[in-house]
Amino acid sequence: MSMRTPLSQVRGLGSAREGTGHFWHQRLTGIANVPLTIFFVVLLIAMQGADHATAVAVIGSPVVAIFLILAILSVVYHMKLGMQIILEDYVSGELVKTICLMANIFFCTIVALASVFAILKISFGV
C-alpha cells in the first residue's frame, strides 16, 4: 500500500503516462487554427470566381503558400490529436484500438504530405 495520495500519484501524468502535453498541444493548435482558418476563409472569398491562372498565382505567392502550409500542418495535427482522444476513449479492445490509432497516424500523415506537396508544387511552378 502506497502512502502517497491519489493526486500525488497522478499529478502531471495521464493514463498513457504522457502528462498534460497532449492537452496543451490540442489547445495550442486550436488557438493557432483560429487566425489560420480566418486567413483561409478570407482567401477563398477573395478568390471566388477567379480563373485557374489567378488561383495559381495567388497560391504561388510565398506569403500565401507559407500561411497555407502552416494552416494545413496545424489543422491536420489538431485533427490527429482529436481523433486520438476519441479512439482511446471509445474503441474497445487493445488490438482494434492499436490498429485504429495507427490508421489515424497514417491517414493524417498522408493528408498533410499530399497537401503540402500540392502547395509546394504550385508555389515552385513545377
Fold (CATH) for 21-124:
3 helical TM bundles of succinate and fumarate reductases (1.20.1300)
pLDDT tens sequence across 6-60: 666 666 555 555 658 888 999 999 999 999 999 999 999 999 999 999 999 999 9
pLDDT tens sequence across 55-71: 999 999 999 999 999 99
pTM of the model: 0.82
Mean pLDDT score, 81-107: 95
- The pLDDT score that the predictor gives to residue 55 is 94
Residue 18 or residue 98, greater confidence: 98
Residue 56 burial class via C-beta count within 10 angstroms: exposed 0-12, middle 13-18, buried 19 and up: middle
User: Amino acid identity, residue 8?
Assistant: S
For the chain, which residues make up each domain, given as ranges?
21-124
> Which residue pairs, CB below 8 angstroms and at least 24 apart, start in 60-67?
60/122, 60/123, 60/124, 60/125, 61/123, 62/123, 65/119, 65/120, 65/122, 65/123, 67/36, 67/39
